[in-house]
Structure 1
């Protein structure tokens, strides 16, 4: 949730904490409970520890949301860029670009094959999961 300036509650909570506000003061300023204020602070600190800015939109290993990263990679792939070029342009590992392109292309192929093919591949996947990990599947 953002305010009129686009600042998230997490960012506001972190800013108030940086100015020395207590969790109670942060909760009062944001109009939330103390436990919510604590959760916002914990979330922001986790995001910062992963290299983000502490705001939810910056979460993710590469400082960008997963969907945005996938879109950026696939746009560059569609432009004819190599895995190495994609990795360099987006400052990610080459292996990450390879994996995302592979599963995005596989998903596109499944969808292009039609509903019946998608249902068959989903059923095959579920059967394999049931055989390999019966403890994870309900009866």
Structure 2
């Protein structure tokens, strides 16, 4: 389901940026720079255009979302019938990025990652249940 543009938050590293929806999905990301082709473009098309979803299995509505004190570190929280999930998204700033990457941290939650490089001109790969988690 498409989200309104005001439901997206921005994270970035001075070289590129990602738009993160209230549902926990990264729906826009160009790598490794702003002017590179998008690898996640669900903002413009649908899930098949590429996205990275990290959210509670039970679904639910985002109950809290905010940037940490004057940073682009985004915290999103859901409260479900079985507990709560907090996802922290950021893109660390490097002087020169060998490759840009998105780091996320969460309490137990499934992850679905479907990149679609070149806005769909290159066949994407699909991965379910895998994400690299790092402390921020």
- Normalised to the residue count of structure 1, the TM-score between the two structures is 0.21
Higher-strand-fraction structure: 2
Larger Rg: 1
